[in-house]
Structure 1
Amino acid sequence: MGRRNAREATMKLLYQLELNKTFDDEIVSIFFENNNFTEDEKVYIENTIENIQDNLSLIDEKIEKYIKGWKKERLSKIDLSILRISIFEIIFREDIPTEVSINESIEISKKYSSDESSKFINGVLGSFVRKENE
């Protein structure tokens, strides 16, 4: 596997946590028990989930600011999970280039969501990066 697979797994786990409306350690443990990951993938997933949980208010505030005409509650849970991962990476992971985070989010949305979603995610992330860098 690799980083893309780790991002996809993180998206699936965030999706599951969002459906259950909780960031429960037991759900995370069960997820790891039922999937095989390399040590690097597991570290990425755990770090990303933990940091998104710790910074959820800030991340969601950024998402809500740039989803013009939408409410966070109306977004698909998959798209919300993808946006959370990308916004987290852009803000907190200096070792991951912004362009990589955006591109990976678009590719994951094409695989798990719709063409409209990938365009929407690209627009939200593009606006976020442009406005936050001003």
Structure 2
Amino acid sequence: MADKRRRARRLVLQALYQWQIASSSVSQVEAEFLVDNDMEKVDKEFFRELLRGVTSQVKALDEALTPCIDRKVEDLDPIELSVIRMGAYELINRIDVPYRVAINEAVELTKKFGGTDGHKFVNSVLDKLAPKFREVEINASRSKR
């Protein structure tokens, strides 16, 4: 399951990048990815939810992220922006995904596809965002230490 979700996140990152750069419709990008990729090894429902969720909530996600970043959203690298939006979506909407998993997956994607130190920025932004939406979970994990 974790591998299928990891592959889904990787494809969603690529799809979001294409959506941003090419200004294609989400439906068109989704259809292309479903046809062009081996989806047997991917959690398709998770792929669809992340892609549709991030794109439909992009304004709200950007508003939630704004206090956590030191520049305008439009000035962010497209890869880092896509990863941060995905991580934010998971932190806000997917309570079944532990906050540490959401952040770690975003960091790992950025290490693979982003700039040299992009993962540090992504980690910092999502670390600042997590307490706003996962306070109970974070406090519970701290009390176990």
Q: What TM-score do the two structures reach when normalised by structure 1? A: 0.90
Q: Is the Cα contact below 8 Å between 2:7 and 2:41 reproduced in 1?
A: no
Render the CA deviation track for 1:57-101: whole Å, top value 9, x for unaligned.
111111222112x11111111101101110000000011000000
Instruction: Give the corresponding residue for 2:90.
Output: 89
Deviation at 1:127, TM superposition (A): 1.0
Q: Quote the Cα distance in structure 2 between the aligned partners of 1:43 and 1:104.
A: 18
Q: Quote the Cα distance in structure 1 between the aligned partners of 2:97 and 2:130.
A: 14
Picking from 27, 50, 53, the partner of 1:51 is 53
Gaps of 5+ in 1: none
Q: CA RMSD in A?
A: 1.8
1:119 aligns with 2:130: no
* Greater C-alpha radius of gyration: 2
Q: What TM-score do the two structures reach when normalised by structure 2? A: 0.83
1:7-46 map, 5 Å? 7-38=9-40, 41-46=43-48
Render the CA deviation track for 1:80-125: whole Å, top value 9, x for unaligned.
1101110000000011000000001011100011341000001101
- Alpha carbons of 1:94 and 1:130: their partners in 2 closer, same or farther (altered >3 Å)? closer
Q: Report the identity percentage.
A: 29
Q: How many residues align?
A: 133
Highest RCO, 1 vs 2 (Cα 8 Å, sep ≥ 6): 1
Structure 1 runs of 4+ with >2 Å offset: 21-24, 130-134
Gaps of 5+ in 2: 137-145
